[in-house]
């Protein structure tokens, strides 16, 4: 499997941003705070959420997608989603995270 260079990854990222008319926020790379009315792309690790919900006939990938969507919806409906966009990190950790990324839903 070919590994993409940083330049290739950035070019791919930029093409997605351009295609969405800059209406997308890549969290945390574009910052921890997200402007209202913007779409957000986050990295989620399904294994931390999949066992919260019954599978009900879904295959593994369907259930992962379902679990993520349901978890996000539940957090939003209870007013708890915003805290996940601002994990408690030191200034040094924030710098690293904005370069390397962070798994959404990890506080």
Q: Is the pLDDT of residue 9 over 80?
A: no
Q: What is the pLDDT of residue 26?
A: 87
In-domain check, residue 1: no
pLDDT at 107: 65
Separation CA 8–CA 101 (nearest Å): 17
Banded pLDDT at 1 (limits 50, 70, 90): low
Q: How confident is the model at residue 92 (pLDDT cuts 50, 70, 90)?
A: very high
> Which residues form the domain of 76?
6-104
Q: Which residues of 71-87 are buried (b: 16+ CB within 10 A; e: fewer)?
A: bbeeeeeeeebeebbeb
pLDDT for 2: 62
| 32 assigned to some structural domain | yes
Q: pLDDT band for position 16 (50/70/90)?
A: confident
Would residue 67 count as lying in a domain? Answer: yes
Domain count, the chain: 1
| 22 pLDDT above the threshold of 70 | no
């Amino acid at each position: 499997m070919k590994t993409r260079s940083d330049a290739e990854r950035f070019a791919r990222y930029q093409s997605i941003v351009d295609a969405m008319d800059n209406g997308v926020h890549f969290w945390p790379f574009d910052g921890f705070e997200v402007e209202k009315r913007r779409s957000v792309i986050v990295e989620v690790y399904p294994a931390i959420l999949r066992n919260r919900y019954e599978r009900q006939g879904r295959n593994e990938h369907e259930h992962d997608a379902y679990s993520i969507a349901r978890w996000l919806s539940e957090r939003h409906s209870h007013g708890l989603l915003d805290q996940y966009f601002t994990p408690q990190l030191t200034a040094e950790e924030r710098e690293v995270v904005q370069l390397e990324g962070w798994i959404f839903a990890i506080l």
